[in-house]
């Protein structure tokens, strides 16, 4: 295990990152110009609830995921301080009733058991390196690399995460780089090499260009 310590975090206005990306990739520079300022949502700690929220959001629109998460929080009755013990007291039927699929019900329950067994805290997660955290949390049934990468980007604000598993990121790459075919995950990784060490920022711009017709 690598030594614990502080890890780089993205500021809300990552000027150095944008300078690097513009110089490294002229096509991405055009997207940056069209999209405008980099704006991540307000950061939240990498808590048990934030991981549950990431599980809930798998393969769902933001609106649908938000509605289910809201019902999930109400069911647990603790606001966003949802604790593993609260989840473990609930039946599968109760979790399914707020909109969780059978697979997500099992995942949330597995996460609750893992969090309790490992005596996890958000401080411990913050101390882990990116790859270390991916290896660690993907031990939980139903948590894959994509889910952990969303935590790394949106909760931990790590600057150099490449979610090549994300269809939206690959759609964005296709549009930005004017590709006829959707890039494979392997091709996305290769294209993103020039973006390091700011692949999280570049990925955010990939998401932003998806609805923009001028990139079609």
- Judge if 143 and 65 occupy the same domain: yes
- Judge if 32 and 87 occupy the same domain: no
- Judge if 95 and 121 occupy the same domain: yes
d(CA 195, CA 26): 11
Choosing from 154, 172, 188, the residue where a domain stops is 154
Asked if residue 139 belongs to a domain, the reply is yes
Q: What is the DSSP letter of 43?
A: P
Asked if residue 63 belongs to a domain, the reply is yes
Token pair, residue 55, equals 């599980």
- Judge if 52 and 136 occupy the same domain: yes
Which residues are known to be catalytic?
166
Report pTM: 0.89
Asked if residue 8 belongs to a domain, the reply is no
Query: Helix crossing, 62-76 with 48-56: angle to 10°?
Result: 140
- Judge if 166 and 103 occupy the same domain: no
Contact 17, 198 (CB under 8 A): yes
- CA dist 177 to 26, 31, 192, 200, 215, Å? 10, 10, 11, 17, 9
- Judge if 65 and 91 occupy the same domain: yes
Q: What is the CATH number of the domain that holds 146?
A: 1.10.340.30
Asked if residue 4 belongs to a domain, the reply is no
Choosing from 133, 154, 175, the residue where a domain stops is 154
Q: What is the pLDDT along the chain (216 residues), one digit of tens a residue?
A: 344 456 888 877 789 999 999 999 999 999 999 999 998 887 778 899 999 999 998 888 889 999 999 999 999 976 667 999 999 999 999 999 999 999 999 999 999 999 999 999 999 999 999 999 999 999 999 999 999 999 999 999 999 999 999 999 999 999 999 999 999 999 999 999 999 999 999 999 999 999 998 887
Find the domain containing 103 and state its range: 48-154
Q: What is the CATH number of the domain that holds 171?
A: 1.10.1670.40
Query: Based on the structure, what is the number of domains in the chain?
Result: 2
Shortest CA distance to 72 belongs to which of 95, 44, 54, 106?
A: 95
């Amino acid at each position: 295990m690598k030594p614990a310590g502080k890890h780089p975090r993205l500021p809300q206005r990552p000027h150095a990152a944008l300078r690097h990306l513009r110089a490294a990739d002229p096509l991405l520079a055009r997207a940056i110009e069209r999209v405008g300022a980099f704006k991540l949502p307000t950061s939240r700690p990498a808590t048990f609830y934030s991981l549950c929220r990431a599980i809930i959001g798998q393969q769902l629109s933001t609106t649908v995921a938000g509605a289910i998460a809201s019902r999930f929080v109400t069911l647990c009755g603790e606001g966003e301080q949802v604790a593993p013990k609260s989840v473990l007291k609930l039946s599968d039927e109760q979790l399914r009733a707020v909109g969780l699929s059978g697979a997500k019900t099992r995942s949330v329950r597995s996460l609750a058991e893992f969090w309790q067994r490992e005596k996890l805290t958000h401080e411990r997660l913050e101390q882990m390196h990116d790859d270390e955290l991916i290896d660690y949390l993907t031990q939980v049934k139903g948590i894959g690399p994509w889910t952990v990468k969303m935590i790394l980007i949106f909760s931990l604000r790590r600057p150099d995460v490449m979610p090549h598993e994300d269809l939206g990121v690959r759609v964005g790459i296709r549009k930005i780089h004017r590709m006829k075919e959707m890039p494979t995950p392997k091709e996305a990784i290769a294209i993103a090499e020039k973006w390091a060490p700011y692949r999280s920022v570049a990925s955010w711009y990939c998401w932003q260009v998806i609805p923009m017709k001028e990139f079609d």
